[in-house]
Amino acid sequence: MQSEQTYVATPVQKGGSAIKRPYKLIEIIQETPSVKAFKFKSEFQEKSYFKPGQFVQIGYSLDGTRIDVQRPYSIASAPGLDTLEFYIEIVDGKLTSILNKAKIGDIFNISQPNGKNFEFTPSKNKRSLFIAAATGIAPFICMLRYIEQNRISENITLLYTVRTKQDIIRATELEDFARKGIAKVVITLTREENNPDWQGETGRIDAAKLQKYVPDITERVTYLCGSNQFNSTMTELLKSFGVPADKDHIKHDVW
Ligand SMILES: Cc1cc2nc3c(=O)[nH]c(=O)nc-3n(C[C@H](O)[C@H](O)[C@H](O)COP(=O)(O)OP(=O)(O)OC[C@H]3O[C@@H](n4cnc5c(N)ncnc54)[C@H](O)[C@@H]3O)c2cc1C
């Protein structure tokens, strides 16, 4: 193992959490046709304490001394482990190209957690609504794992939109959360209106789906995670139901 000094990044570009720690890539799973799950383990067996919903910067160093490229990613694993898990869409940009070619044993540098605005905290009414698009499910998987492990009594409804059945990230685990009563899980496919293998919802998340699955919407704190466009559309929809668009009622994670 190389010394700690070798890996402490100097100086980190684009601001953010300056200190990064070395993590070894220990698992790569082709999660969906376009998304890979990456699991990293701390080189120093450090447990990572963060709030569910937070993100880190994953950095890569070409020469082992300074970080050449870094991008933020939501943590999908539960807090308190010496491993960190991510669901990353491979878009052939700077970092995802490196990740796509990465091998087990490769070292990446991971920052301290960040992103206070999207932390999950049990709400006053003990009711939350999670709305995710595509890889936007990542922070919610973290939250649901955390809620289950800590037996937090929060009534959760998760609305999750993806294009096709094979784009669903962690389908079995989401089914398990529903079966165990951790969350009501509603998945809707936007590009498979006529798939005979799909008995669930199809089409976008709209007013009819909110009425059907979240009749108590104004009593819930909503967490939104998706693209800018997705979050804006959902915010307008929530507003049309009388949900105030302030940070006490709607929390955003946008990428
Ligand atoms: C808080 C936060 C959390 C996030 N969490 C996640 C997560 O959990 N999972 C996830 O998948 N993403 C997540 N992201 C997005 C992530 O940070 C990156 O933006 C994404 O992975 C792309 O990084 P990249 O370096 O591969 O692409 P970049 O190099 O930054 O490129 C960005 C885009 O430009 C396109 N592009 C790049 N070069 C070219 C070119 N020459 N010609 C045409 N197009 C080009 C790429 O295809 C890509 O779509 C998160 C973002 C934020 C802000």
188 shares its domain with 218:
yes
> Is any ligand 1 atom within 6 A of the Cβ of residue 239?
no
Residues 168-224 have pLDDT tens digits of 999 999 999 999 999 999 999 999 988 999 999 999 999 999 999 999 999 999 999
- Tens of pLDDT, residue by residue over 115-168, are 999 999 999 999 999 999 999 999 999 999 999 999 999 999 999 999 999 999
Report the domain count for the chain: 2
127 and 248 in a common domain: yes
Q: What is the pLDDT of residue 4?
A: 35
Helix (H, G, I), strand (E, B) or coil at 240: helix
Let me know whether 125 and 248 are in one domain: yes
CATH of the domain at 156: 3.40.50.80
pTM for the model: 0.92
pLDDT in tens, 43-73: 999 999 999 999 999 999 888 778 889 999 9
Give me the domain span that covers residue 132: 120-254
Q: How far is the CA of 116 from the centre of ligand 1 (A)?
A: 21
Question: For position 150, what pLDDT does the model report?
Answer: 96
Residue ending a domain, choose from 71, 91, 114: 114
CA of residue 180 to ligand 1 center, whole Å: 34
The phi and psi torsions of 134 (rounded to 5 degrees) equal: 55, -125
In whole angstroms, what is the distance from residue 252 CA to residue 181 CA? 25
Is the CB of 214 within 6 Å of ligand 1?
no
Regarding whether 97 and 77 lie in a shared domain, the answer is: yes
Ligand 1 contacts CB of residue 57 (under 6 A): no
Per-residue pLDDT at 15 exceeds 70: no
Rounded CA-CA distance 205/237 in Å is 9
Distance CA 135, CA 227 (A): 10
State the alpha helices, DSSP H only, in the chain: 4-7, 94-101, 138-149, 171-179, 207-213, 228-240
246 and 147 in one domain?
A: yes
> Hey, how many other C-beta atoms are within 10 angstroms of the C-beta on 198?
15
